[in-house]
Structure formats: C-alpha cells, structure tokens
Structure 1
Amino acid sequence: MTASGARARVRAELTREIADAARRHLAAEGAAGLSLRAVARELGMASSAVYRYFPSRDDLLTRLIIEAYDALGEAAERAEAAVERADLRGRLRATCRAAREWALRHPHEYALVYGSPVPGYAAPEATIGPAGRIGLLLCRIVADAGPGNDEGSGAEPAGDPGLLAPGLAALMGLPEGTALAERAILVWTSLFGLIGFELFGHTNNVVVAHEEFLDRAVDRWADELGLP
C-alpha cells in the first residue's frame, strides 16, 4: 500500500470512529446536544483534530443524517428486492415492514431524520437524494403496476395539477395528469406518520398489535394505489 493509500485508510477509519461516537452521543443527548468537543473527549482526541475531519457540528450532523437515510433506504430496498417482481402488494408490504423494523432498531437515528428539527441546522442539498430513497422505491412499485391502476379504489381518476410541484410526477416515474403521484406521496407520508406515532409513543394504549396494524394499513394503501 502506498503512503497516500495508508493515509486515506487511516482518515476513513477515524472518520468512521468519530461518526460512531457521535451516534452514541445522539442517543444520550439528542441531536441538539451533539458537540464536537464532547465527541473528541470520548475518543481521546484534541478538538482541533476532530475539526480537521468535520469542520463544524453541522457537517457532522449532515454525515449522520445521510448515513441514517441511506441505511434506512438500503434496508427497505433489500427487503423489497427479495420479493417476486409480479407481487406488487408483497413488495409494498416488504418495503413498509423493513422501514418500521429499521426505525425500531435505530430509534435515535430515526428521530434525527424524522423527528423534531435541530435548532440552527439547515439540511444541505446532499441530504435530498438519500432522503428520497424509500419514496422513489414506492413509486417504482406503483409504476410497475402499469396502465390501468390510475383510478385506485373509488378515488378520483385525475390529479389536481395545482397540488404538486410541476414535473414532479415525471420525476417520480409516474404518469402526468393522474392522481397516482398524489396517492404515492400519501402512502409515503402515511407510512412514516404511522411509524413515528408508534416510535414516539403516540399510539400507546391505542394500538396493541402494531405489526398487524401496519399490514392492514398496507392493504388499504395498496387498494388506494390500485395495485392488483
């Protein structure tokens, strides 16, 4: 290995160690309490050394946010890919189950990306792609149903062009002029609303079988999307 290669490897390892320590602080202090100095103390590093890897707290937060979105998206994509392509409802169910399971295993990281905004932090454009992975996965499932699913289950066949950003349906891989993009967004937001309510305790003493409740919700969403 060359000297430059060794330096790159050491840098990658230290960057990963800093991010791992930051996740531990995230669990203990919350995103608003994340401090580069505290992370440096845990790792036995000088604060100035940590700043060479992450110039600010916001840079570190961005790294954690992107990694959380990517881990969540990868879990959902892996589960969806394991289902027969023609089984559209099964693919939707696998995606939704995987998202919930990941959130339950990583509640603090889920709270970082879907919980309260961090005071003073503005997410940069680099977070947009990772944040959209599950939404685009849902859209691919809808698009794979092909023509004839745009009327859903008793819903209006046409979309309202004033509701969504121009060109969004095409960007999502869905036909313009139908309500499919609206319904896909409804499913996407409903999924994370349901997960968030469970994770943050809002459905305590309300829902007693959350996994089964999610499956029932998925069936209703599939009907709304017109999936066979």
Structure 2
Amino acid sequence: MTTPRQRARAATMQEIIRIGRRHLAEHGAAALSLRAVARDLGVVSSAVYRYVGSRDELLTLLLVDGYDELGASVDRALAGVAADAFRERFLVVGRAVREWALREPSTYALLYGAPVPGYAAPAEQTTGPGTRVPATLLGITAAADAAGCLDPVDPAPVGAGLAAGLAAVRTEFDAPLPDEVLVRGVLAWVSLFGAVSFEVFGQYGPDRMGDPGELFEHHLAGLADRVGLRDA
C-alpha cells in the first residue's frame, strides 16, 4: 500500500514527464532544460533535482515513458484480435505503431530519430521497454511458425556473421525460429519502423505521396507476405 507521500511523489514525477514531453515537442530533445521544466512545474530549479538529477535522467524518463506508451497502444490494439489470426495481428501492430507515431511525432523522434548529442541511453533502463514492440512482432512470427501458419518463402543464404547476430536475437527475444525464418521477422520489424519514420519525418515530400495511409497498407501487406504469415 502506497503512502500519501509516495503518491505525491509519483504524481510529481508524472507531471515532470508531461511537461518534459511538451518541451520536447516545442523545443526538441537537444534543448531540454531542467530549469525550464522547474519553471513550468512552479518550483525553484533546485527543487526539481530532488526528482530528476540531470537532463540525461529526464531524457531517459521520456524514452521509457514513450516506449511504454507505444507498447501499451499496441497491446490495446491487439486485445480484440484472435491469438491465431497471425497475419491480422501483424497488420494490427503495424497500424498501431503508425497511428501512435503520427499522434506523438516528437516522442517518436526521440525514440527512433537521430541520437541526442552527448546522451547515451542506459541499456538497463531502456532495453526492455524499447524492445517491447519488436518482441511482439517476433512473438507473432514464432507463434505462427509453431502453428504451421508460415507459408514457405525462398530463403536467402545466411552467412556466419549474420547467423551469430540472429542467435543473439533468438536468445534475447526467446524466439525459437530457424535462421531463414528469423531473418524475415527481423527485416519486417526494421522495415515497419523505416516506413513509419519516412512518413513521420516528412520524407515523402510536400504531396506526401497523395495518400500515405494507402501506401503504408501496401507496404504492411507486403511485409506480411514476405514473412509468410497467414491466419489459422
């Protein structure tokens, strides 16, 4: 059971994160300032250091908050989709990622854009939240493989270096997939976020390809085909 003091501290931390995300949207990650956050929080700058020790600590809080929010959005989207509807689950994840990214472009940029100069994310705090969506995607692929719902796709040769990297992915994500299947899942993951980044960062140009949503649906369906996913 939490005490009133603990609840008050948690509420203040959430307010710091809320203000930090607003400043992120208005000024960008490189310009984040704890003094500015303290001013908007209504406290002297020294008081905010009782909650957040540095700008880097604030960036880490915003990273984890963003990853968790994205992961929760994906989980909510999947809640109503049958566990054995593997292709549909993949499509739903992709749509949820895109919708969240377009709704929260500044936070998406912090998560998947250019590194913030002088900041290195602490792996022990960010790796778990940051791999939540990739783990979901690889989990869908592994479940489809176990259920016999992966169509055969001509495998490309996997060299020794890539095989070692895939072995590390297999262990980290507990994805018991052969190399020729795992590489498809990894490519789908990076291709999904690449397409979302292209749209969020305005790389389609002023006409935005006419209908970026339709283009994304074509891309998403192509990724599902490349993995070989089908519903049970």
Query: TM-score, normalized by length of structure 2?
Result: 0.90
Aligned pair partner of 1:46 in 44, 47, 69 = 44
Amino acid at match of 1:51: Y
Alignment-derived partner of residue 155 in structure 1: 155
Quote the Cα distance in structure 2 between the aligned partners of 1:152 and 1:79. Answer: 28
Quote the Cα distance in structure 1 between the aligned partners of 2:195 and 2:78. Answer: 19
Amino acid at match of 1:212: E
Name structure 2 gaps, 5 residues minimum.
none
Alignment-derived partner of residue 140 in structure 1: 139
Quote the Cα distance in structure 2 between the aligned partners of 1:83 and 1:64. Answer: 30
Quote the Cα distance in structure 2 between the aligned partners of 1:38 and 1:155. Answer: 53
Alignment-derived partner of residue 167 in structure 1: 168
Cα RMSD between the aligned structures?
2.0
Name structure 1 gaps, 5 residues minimum.
none
Does structure 2 retain, via aligned residues, the 8 Å contact 1:155–1:224? no
Instruction: List aligned pairs for 1:199-214, cutoff 5 A.
Output: 199-204=200-205, 205=207, 207-214=209-216
Q: CA deviation at 1:146?
A: 2.1
Alignment-derived partner of residue 219 in structure 1: 221
* Higher RCO (Cα < 8 Å, 6 or more apart): 2
Q: What is the identity percentage for the equivalent residue pairs of Structure 1 and Structure 2?
A: 44
Q: CA deviation at 1:151?
A: 7.0
Q: How many residues align?
A: 225
Q: Comparing 116-125 with 198-207, which one deviates more in the overlay?
A: 198-207
Does structure 2 retain, via aligned residues, the 8 Å contact 1:88–1:227? yes
Change (3 A) 1:39 1:206: closer
Amino acid at match of 2:153: S
Amino acid at match of 1:138: L
Quote the Cα distance in structure 2 between the aligned partners of 1:77 and 1:140. Answer: 13
Does structure 1 retain, via aligned residues, the 8 Å contact 2:56–2:119? yes
Q: CA deviation at 1:177?
A: 4.0
Does structure 2 retain, via aligned residues, the 8 Å contact 1:159–1:178? yes
SS, match of residue 4 in structure 2:
helix
SS, match of residue 63 in structure 2:
helix
Q: CA deviation at 1:16?
A: 1.1
Does structure 1 retain, via aligned residues, the 8 Å contact 2:151–2:229? no
Quote the Cα distance in structure 2 between the aligned partners of 1:120 and 1:152. Answer: 45
Quote the Cα distance in structure 1 between the aligned partners of 2:153 and 2:172. Answer: 24
Quote the Cα distance in structure 2 between the aligned partners of 1:89 and 1:171. Answer: 23
Query: TM-score, normalized by length of structure 1?
Result: 0.91
Alignment-derived partner of residue 91 in structure 1: 89
Quote the Cα distance in structure 2 between the aligned partners of 1:139 and 1:184. Answer: 6
**CA deviation map 1:151-180 (0-9, x unaligned):** 743333x64342115432243333354222
Instruction: List aligned pairs for 1:9-20, cutoff 5 A.
Output: 9-20=7-18
Amino acid at match of 1:70: D
